[in-house]
Structure 1
Amino acid sequence: MLQSKMKWNFTYIQEDQTSEAFPVKGMSDVTKRLLEKRNLTDPDAIDRFLHPSLDDIHDPFLMDDMEQAIERVRSAIDNDEKILVFGDYDADGVSSTTVLIEALSEAGAQSDYYIPNRFTEGYGPNEAAFRQASVDGYSVIITVDTGIAAIHEANIAKELGIDLIITDHHEVQETLPQAYAIIHPKTSEAYPFKELAGVGVAFKFATALLGRFPEHLLDMVAIGTIADLVPLHDENRVLVSYGLKAISRSNRKGIQALRSVAGLDGAIDEEAIGFTIGPRVNAVGRLQDASPAVELFLTEDRAEADRLASLINQLNQERQKIVADTAKEAEEMLKSGEQELSNVIVVAKEGWNPGVLGIVASKLVRTFDRPAIVLAIDSETQQAKGSARSIDAFDLFANCMEVRDRFIHFGGHAQAAGMTLDVNEIDNLRQQLSDLAEQKLSPEDYQQVLDVEMSVGIEDVSLQQIEEINKLRPFGMGNPKPLFHVKQTPKELRRIGSRKNHLKITFQKQSAKLDGIAFGMGDSYPHISPHAELEVIGELSVNEWNGKKNVQIMIKDMQVSSWQLFDLRGSKHIEKQMSLSDQETYAAVSFRDTTEIPFQLPVYAPSELAGLNEVDGLLLVDLPKQLSDLSNLLNEVRPGKLYACYQVNEGAFLKTWPTRDHFKWFYGMLVKRKKFDLNQDREKLAARKGWDRSMVDFISQVFFELDFVKIEDGLITINSTPSHRDLTDSILYQERKSQLYVEQSLYYSTYKELKSWLDTQRNSLKEEVVNGL
């Protein structure tokens, strides 16, 4: 067996077939079933999903306070009042700020923006910034992608005579700020879609302010929406679909420059945003003031855009190194016991960069399969600021709200959060959250989950099928890229990469072929036997190389669900050919008191293994004397991996097993010749009869044991008074025949024959072992 590293959640019953009444014709069963899995069976709903339309965008004035907020902004424009856009330092906040600044500029407003410094000010609105805005003459502040938890700051704004308009999408807490207006889909009962990103809410505000649909801002909407991991359905799907087209043809100098430094050619899809553009935009605010990212998108000077894009790309490279170093340090602290590896990880240290802690937390979640909070300690204030990421089964927002009194500041979502707390509260927070996890989670909940949409045969995977699946794009939260299950014995399995840390797998069934790539899974190679039926979970895609397109599956996880036989028979380099996992238990069994074995493993006699049902891997270091010995052992111990490590040096195997006619002819020859000199005539007889010389010796020894002949110095003579005994009375004959069957069955057999025989023994508890295969 090979255990999967994640929990596979099969979200279907394979026997269920797509409804014959499915409304869309000319579509494969695979795609139809994917649509049904998304509860898309109504023709109109399917059409809206496959062909997103701007007609499905909701009226921004359905949001509470929108009309009031727009009137206030228009009044500010008419009266030449200064408006400050207060943003956030992540990709959603940067794109939100850009959207609203451009909309205000088009509307004729005097406006500027302010993004707090992550390191000196922390997340969200703050009193000092509001007081400075008042000094600078701003009478209206509009927050984007932040503000819903700014209770104190809203009161400060009121005290200063500033009208605060909050536009946000984060989770609403128990008390709302006393702001002039709050534009938030989750506080607006009449608004039909609650899952807009911060940039989506800002875009709604811009639409209401301009009195038209500002398509030229959709590129920013796509970046913020995808980067913030909000569900890509309903209105978000429409906005992102059109936004990706807008980015691909965008004349925005900042987009062009960013594409250039990132090496993005052609059409931009959601993966390019999520893995290339989004991280670069985020990197700026993680390491310094996020203003260069906003300036990049606002500038109309290509030279300035190139300079800013180059700076941002450099910051992203620095961010990657800082993340890797911090994650390694945090892992070592947890593994060494320097900080407790509890049900919910809470790890803290002075000197860590607060800007990367969310990414570090994500890495810890993947490494340790549990929620993680990573905090940077400020020695001067004795406060810890950081970020949290979670597993599917543990709602961070809900559980942290149960211990809200531990935090100075807190906000976020079910799977991600940010917080500030006193250093002396860290241990209490760890203990309380771990207790909540202990109460609410089962051991299975800690495993990362792969939601598998469908099992497919490799014959079902084609370029045409993948192109059809891609009609479901853009993929993301709420519409995940489908994960498929494939079960097939690989035709080829090999390690690739400079460090041999990846796997390349080729599946083939008749004329159908599917390549698989498993990044970072090279360590699984020695734990997959060459003939094992491998199960993989992955995303289907097209690999294009030198103008040739091939279907492939990008593997997320794999397993071998049946027991495996590793054939190392006769090998003199066993330790180089096999690898033992630290996560499994192994033992060696000897039928003949062998003590020299590969690896430092305990060696057991078969009778000692009855109580070792927990053994994952069992090494057979020599051959049993009878097949029944091994059969009885396999009825007691059922390891997931069986290693055939035995050798045969001087075996019983003969090219031809002598029949009774062979014995009869040899005896007749002796009677006729009266004597036979083994030393002189053995080779001649073997050559004349086509026998192996060992068969001549064997027949001679059997006759000698049965007292049919005498042998002195290799000279065989007939016994004048032979006993009347059958060949089967010979112990040598019986032992050699039994040993021969053992060697034929377990050593000289093919892999397929050996595996089949072992399968039979494992599957039958009472069946008596018969001679041969």
Structure 2
Amino acid sequence: MLQSKANWKFTYDTNDDYSNVFSQLSISSLTERLLVKRGITTIEEAKSFLNPKSSQLHCPSLMNDMEKAVNRVKQAIENGESILVFGDYDADGVSSTTVMIEALRELGAVCEYYIPNRFTEGYGPNENAFKEASKQGFQLIITVDTGIAAVHEAEIAKDLGIDLIITDHHEVQEKVPDAFAIVHPKCSPSYPFKELAGVGVAFKFAHQLLGYFPKHLLDLVVIGTIADLVPLLDENRVLAYDGLKAISATNRFGIKALMKQCNMEGPVTEEDIGFLIGPRINAVGRLQDANVAVDLLLTKDPEEAKELAAFVQQLNQERQKVVSNITKEAEEIVEKEAEMNKNVIVVAKEGWNEGVLGIVASKLIQRYQRPTVVLSINPEKGYAKGSARSIDAFDLFSNCMTIRDTFVHFGGHAQAAGMTLHQADISVLRTQLNQLASEQLTDEDYKQVLTIDEMVTIDELSLSLIKEIEKLAPFGMGNPKPLFHVKSTPTEIRQLGSQQNHLKLSFEQQTTKLDCIGFGMGELFPIIGPHSEIDAVGELQINEWNGKQKLQLLLKDLSIKQWQLFDYRGSKHWQKQIEPSFLETSLAICFQSEVNQSFPLDLNPVQYDNYFIDQGDYSYITDLFIMDLPASFEQLENVLSSINPKRIYACYRLQNDDQYFHSFPTREDFKWFYGLLLKRKYFDLEKDTPKLAKHKGWKVEKIQLMIKIFYELDFVKMETGKIIPFSKPSKRDLTESTLYQRKWMQSKIEAKLYYSTYKELKEWFDNHLHVESSLKEEVSYGL
């Protein structure tokens, strides 16, 4: 048995049939079901989804104030007015700024850009920046990816005589700024799609400004669209789909240089944007001014592009080190203050870089599965500022809004937030959030939720099927990469990586082989039995190596529903396979008074005796180590009736003189040997034993055992090294011999528990687990 780390949410129904709906598409039933799960139920919707085209985009003029904003920009260009593009410091803001600058320059505008410093100015437009812009002669400011909350700053712009055009996509606040124009899909009742990224809105504005569809800007649009985690549906799907093609073939020097720093080759995917390009652009604004990132995307000089890309790479490496150091320090605080952070983690320290605290919070959630707030303390100003991330079951925004008075500033949504509060209120915040979480959440709520799309059998998988599923890409928010459930017994289990921290499983069915890779899951290796049926959840993909393509499942989680048997019988090195982390809930049991083997890993075995059942509560035991063979089946059955283990480890081995299974004589052996004794009248132990052993092919121990049993039953007597049979012994059953019964029982135990196959041993345990009482082995009496 192995518990999954996440909660699995099954959404599939294998009885659903959509073949009549999508028959024209010539796609698999699996892909049909995946389309329906994405809300696609008609043939027209399916065609549009599987073949995104720019013709599916909505007309930019449907946005409120679009024409007004375009006319104002054209007027500024005609009059030679200076235009300032005011952006944001993340990947969406940087790409939005670049799109707007490119469009304006193409029209001949006199323009510059400005991105506020995260550390000195914070997010969004600010009064000082607008006043400085006025001093420098800017008469028109266009915000991109920001501004919808800049109510005060809009008033400042008006007082300064600056026309302010806001293009944004963030949530609209209670009050809308009094700007010259607001180009925002959520402020536009007639615009059909509300979820564009900031760069998507900027692109729409550029489209209307230029008077044609600017394909050459799509390589920029895809960066912000994917990096900002907007739903990849409707227009975003088209922009991301076409954008990935565009960036794969880009001639933009800055992007090409950055891709080279990322060692990217071949077509660019959404993962490349999300995990390579986006984080590097974000790293600039996390550590310093984001201007370098905009310069990188704008430059027309290949040498400058190389230098800027190298600098961005350096900043990203520095960002990774900063994140790693802060995460380590934060984990130490969490471990030290475990009880205080039982339901919600709130950690704070002086000197932490504010720009990376969101990443740190995400890493803490991955490890602890708790809502997390990470704060940097500024002792001079007496406040703490930071970021928070949450789990699915805890709405961070609504809960924090119930304690809004605790914050100086607060904003965000259900899963992420930013905040500023007085240093003295950190402990108050921790207490309040932990109390709210304790009232709302159960233990299961703290586990990640994996939504599983379909269950597949290995023999139905093929390279062509996975390529068909990949037509649902690009994947992201609103269109997650589908998760599949596979159930099978592995043909191979091993660890990978220099630190053995990755896991590889292989499943085979008929002629199909599926490799499963679990990154960071190597610790599960010791607790996965080689014969266990595994439920695995992951993403189907094609692994290509040296020109060969193979089916692969990228593991997200796994579980084993049945108890597991680990067969270490006869092994002297089984200890190396044991994971020390679960020894706290393990029990090692010994049945013999003296066991001739050492016990590593601090197992501290318990000696079985008549009071075993009464002496302790073993209900907490998950791992049972059986260190030697019992004297009777009843002993082991009593142990199993008291324990409900998830894993049983058969760790026993036999000494050479204990192998009664191979040396125990049959009744016919006893009859023949006693008949020989009666015929010969004596048996010389020293001379005749080796002769008889050779003649019959018996072990010497077998002959010695029969003689001892004969002696115990008064069938023979001993005289100076010779065995003399009684001519008329009393009639007694062999079973009247205590030695016979003990050795007979031991041979049965060895046959069943030691020399049996894995399957036979597993079946024996299956039949005796959770049994309150058990019958003793029947004994056959007589010769």
Matched residue SS, 1:655: helix
1:454 is aligned to 454
Question: Deviations 1:73-110 (Å, cap 9, x if unpaired)?
Answer: 33333333322111000100000111111222233432
Using the TM superposition, name which of 378-387 and 89-98 deviates more.
378-387
1:253 lines up with 2:256 in the alignment: no
Which stretch shifts more, 105-114 or 649-658? 649-658
What do you get for the CA RMSD once the two structures are aligned? 2.2
Q: Does 1:498 align with 2:485?
A: no
1:708 to 715, 739, 747: 715
2:690 aligns to what? 683
Partner of 1:597: 599
- Answer whether contact 1:197 1:230 (CA < 8 A) is retained: yes
Q: Distance in 2 between matches of 1:607 and 1:583?
A: 21
Distance 1:713 1:113, change over 3 A: farther
Looking at structure 1, the residues matched to 192 and 544 of structure 2 have their Cα atoms a distance apart, in angstroms, of: 42
Report the counterpart of residue 23 of structure 1 in structure 2: 22
Counterpart Cα distance in 1 of 2:425 and 2:64: 38
Q: Distance in 2 between matches of 1:459 and 1:610?
A: 49
SS in 2 for 1:209: helix
Q: Which of 631, 648, 657 is residue 637 of structure 2 equivalent to?
A: 631
Distance in structure 1 (CA, Å) of the matches to 2:756 and 2:583? 32
Aligned residues of 2:624 and 2:648 also touching (Cα < 8 A): yes
Equivalent residue number for residue 723 of structure 1: 730
Q: Which residue of 1 aligns with 2:38?
A: 38
Alpha-carbon separation, structure 2, partners of 1:440 and 1:194:
32
Q: Could you tell me which of 753, 764, 770 is aligned with 1:757?
A: 764
Report if aligned partners of 1:408, 1:421 keep a CA contact under 8 Å in 2. Answer: yes
| 1:668 matched residue in structure 2 | 675
Q: TM-score, normalized by length of structure 2? A: 0.94
Letter in 2 for 1:695: K
Using a 3 Å threshold, how does the CA distance of structure 1 residues 180 and 412 change in structure 2: closer, same or farther? farther
Measured after TM superposition, the shift of residue 571 of structure 1 is: 3.0
- Offset of residue 222 of structure 1: 0.4
Change (3 A) 1:402 1:152: farther
**Which whole-Å CA distance do the structure 2 matches of 1:377 and 1:580 have between them?**
38
* Displacement of 1:234: 0.9
2:180 corresponds to: 180
Q: Does 2:519 align with 1:519? A: yes
Equivalent in the alignment of 1:133: 133
Inter-CA distance 303–645: structure 2 relative to 1 (3 Å threshold) = same
Contact 2:9 2:452 in 1 (8 A): yes
Q: Is the 8 A contact 2:613 2:638 kept in 1?
A: no
Displacement of 1:473 after TM fit? 0.8
Q: CA deviation at 1:399?
A: 2.9
Letter paired with 2:452: V
> 2:565, 2:648 within 8 Å by CA — same for their partners in 1?
yes
Distance in 1 between residues matched to 2:342 and 2:235, nearest whole Å: 40
**Contact kept in structure 2, 1:654 and 1:694, CA below 8 Å:** no
Counterpart CA distance in 2 for 1:610 and 1:405 is: 52
Match of 2:210 in 1: 210
Deviation at 1:442? 2.5
- Is contact 1:609–1:637 with CA below 8 Å preserved after alignment? no
> Any conservation in 1 of the 2:257–2:305 contact (CA below 8 Å)?
yes
- Taking the aligned partners of 2:26 and 2:685, their CA distance within structure 1 comes to 82
Give me the identity figure in percent: 57
Kept after mapping to 1: 8 A contact 2:257/2:309: yes
Question: In the alignment, is the contact (CA less than 8 A) between 2:125 and 2:147 conserved in 1?
Answer: yes
- SS of the aligned residue for 1:414 comes to coil
Counterpart secondary structure, 1:88 = coil
8 Å Cα contact 1:496-1:504 kept in structure 2: yes
Matched with 2:266 is 266
Output the CA distance in 1 between the equivalents of 2:418 and 2:440: 22
* Displacement of 1:394: 2.3
Say which is worse superposed, 149-158 or 274-283, in terms of deviation. 149-158
Does 2:626 correspond to 1:620?
A: yes
Query: Take 1:3 and 1:407, find their aligned partners in 2: how far apart are those partners?
Result: 39
Q: Which moved more, 1:56-65 or 1:677-686?
A: 56-65
Aligned with residue 646 of structure 1, among 647, 652, 676:
652
Equivalent in the alignment of 1:380: 380
Query: 8 Å contact 1:631–1:769 — kept in the other structure?
Result: no
Cα 1:688–1:610, aligned 2, differ >3 Å: closer, same or farther?
Answer: same
C-alpha change, 1:170 and 1:564, in structure 2 (3 Å) is: same
Structure 2: distance between partners of 1:154 and 1:430 = 36
1:732 aligns with 2:731: no
Cα shift at 1:318:
1.2
In structure 1, how many angstroms separate the alpha carbons of the residues matched to 2:104 and 2:368? 46
Alignment of 1:152-231 (within 5 A): 152-231=152-231
1:632-674 deviation line (CA, Å, top 9, x unaligned): 3222211001111223223251435433322222222111111
Could you tell me how far apart the structure 1 residues matched to 2:732 and 2:99 are?
104
Given that residues 84 and 111 in structure 2 are in contact (C-alpha distance below 8 angstroms), is that contact kept between their aligned partners in structure 1? yes
Alignment check: 8 A CA contact 1:571 1:647 kept: yes
How far the C-alpha of 1:713 sits from its partner, in A, is: 4.2
SS in 2 for 1:490: coil
Kindly provide the amino acid, as one letter, of the partner of residue 31 in structure 1.
Answer: T
Q: Describe the SS at the equivalent of 1:581.
A: helix
The amino acid of 1:23's aligned partner reads: F
Shift of 1:163: 2.5
After superposition, the C-alpha distances for 1:539-591 in whole angstroms (9 at most, x for unaligned) are 12222221111121222222222211122223333433322325851112222
Rounded to whole Å, the distance in 1 between the matches of 2:651 and 2:463 is: 44
Counterpart Cα distance in 2 of 1:77 and 1:467:
49
Q: In structure 1, how many angstroms separate the alpha carbons of the residues matched to 2:206 and 2:410?
A: 29
- 1:401-416 alignment runs, 5 A limit: 401-416=401-416
Determine whether 1:336 maps to 2:336.
yes
2:243 counterpart SS class: helix
Q: In 1, distance between residues paired with 2:311 and 2:567?
A: 55
Whether the 8 Å contact between 2:640 and 2:771 is mirrored in structure 1 is no
Indicate whether 1:692 and 2:699 are aligned: yes
Query: What TM-score does the superposition give when structure 1 sets the normalisation length?
Result: 0.95
- 1:349 and 2:349 equivalent? yes
Identify unmatched segments of 5+ residues in structure 1: none
Q: Counterpart of 2:136 in structure 1: which amino acid?
A: D
Aligned to 2:370: 370
For 2:613 and 2:653, locate their aligned partners in 1 and report how far apart those are by CA, in whole Å. 22
The one-letter code matched in structure 1 to 2:331 is E
Residue 395 of structure 2 is matched in structure 1 by 395
* Correspondence for 2:86: 86
2: CA distance, partners of 1:424 / 1:126: 27
- Cα distance between partner residues in 2 of 1:395 and 1:725: 81
Q: State the alpha-carbon separation in 1 of the partners of residues 360 and 143 from structure 2.
A: 28
C-alpha spacing 1:754/1:602, structure 2 compared with 1 (3 Å)? same
What secondary structure, in the 3-state scheme, does the structure 2 residue paired with 1:517 have? strand
Correspondence list, 1:308-347, <5 A: 308-337=308-337, 340-347=340-347
2:294 corresponds to: 294
TM-superposed CA distance for 1:342, in Å, is: 4.2
Distance in 2 of aligned mates of 1:190 and 1:584: 63
User: Residue deviations 1:3-33, cap 9 Å, x none?
Assistant: 22222222223x4343342413432222222
Q: Using the TM superposition, give the Cα deviation of residue 763 of structure 1 relative to its aligned residue in structure 2, in angstroms.
A: 6.4
| CA–CA distance in structure 1, aligned partners of residues 86 and 521 of structure 2 | 45
Aligned-partner residue type, residue 498 of structure 2? S
Letter in 2 for 1:628: E
Contact 2:62 2:190 in 1 (8 A): yes
